[in-house]
Amino acid sequence: AQSVTQLDSQVPVFEEAPVELRCNYSSSVSVYLFWYVQYPNQGLQLLLKYLSGSTLVKGINGFEAEFNKSQTSFHLRKPSVHISDTAEYFCAVSVRNTGGFKTIFGAGTRLFVKA
Amino acid sequence: KAGVTQTPRYLIKTRGQQVTLSCSPISGHRSVSWYQQTPGQGLQFLFEYFSETQRNKGNFPGRFSGRQFSNSRSEMNVSTLELGDSALYLCASSDSSLNTEAFFGQGTRLTVV
């Protein structure tokens, strides 16, 4: 079975500081990896995805993530955060099964950017 | 291209009642998934429909059910509502042949009183 662990439930950070949101997964088969962002009272929006190829993936709003197969991690980073980045971030793993694809989400990390 | 549309946005129901939520996926998307989001449990997968068939199912009681129509629109139904069913219900559609990403609606906030 697959699982996703987001190691931090909350991450407070000052504006313009760098940030890393950690995500580890477990799976016995190949996976697709995603990071989504959720603003208050909204649905989830895709930040970036890893399907194959280069392990460094760049997404929207200046975010990037690196797929590390040996450590089964997919950490999200941003070199300089803004107040507007305050939101909840979800890591997700998608695997192919007999029924198609199944996507599992982590518990989420709440990023709080302080002025 | 219009996004995923969920109706209604907000709903208040009484314990014991039943409720139906609706989701219209992005045009051309045949896969629709439903999730329950609560502060305590996070995002939990309910079920996925593809071409009018339930293809994947999460670990929810039989009170939670769904269906998909020939135009890919989906509904989920919760019967005999409990206080613990209060949550944000999110619908996501995808082009499941590629599974490049899921597109989410804004959700339906259900409050059971």
Encoded amino acid at B4, one letter: V
Which residues does residue B30 pair with via DSSP β-bridges, in sequence order? none
pLDDT at A40: 86
Whole-angstrom distance, CA of residue A38 vs CA of residue A78:
16
B43: chain A residues, CB-CB within 8 Å: 90, 105, 107-108
CB A108 within 8 A of CB B42: yes
Residues 4-63 of B with CB under 8 A from A: 4, 6, 31, 33, 35, 42-43, 45, 48, 50, 55-56
Report residue B80 CA to chain centroid gap.
17
- The rounded mean pLDDT for chain B is 92
Least confident of A23-37, A65-79, A93-107, B25-39: A93-107
pLDDT in tens, A18-52: 999 999 999 878 889 999 999 987 889 999 999 88
pLDDT above 90: percentage of residues in chain A = 72
pLDDT at A101: 73
B56: chain A residues, CB-CB within 8 Å: 97, 99-100, 102
pLDDT in tens, B37-61: 998 888 899 999 998 999 888 899 9
Please tell me if residue B100 touches chain A, with a CB cutoff of 8 Å: yes
Is the pLDDT higher at A98 or at A44? Answer: A44
Encoded amino acid at A59, one letter: G
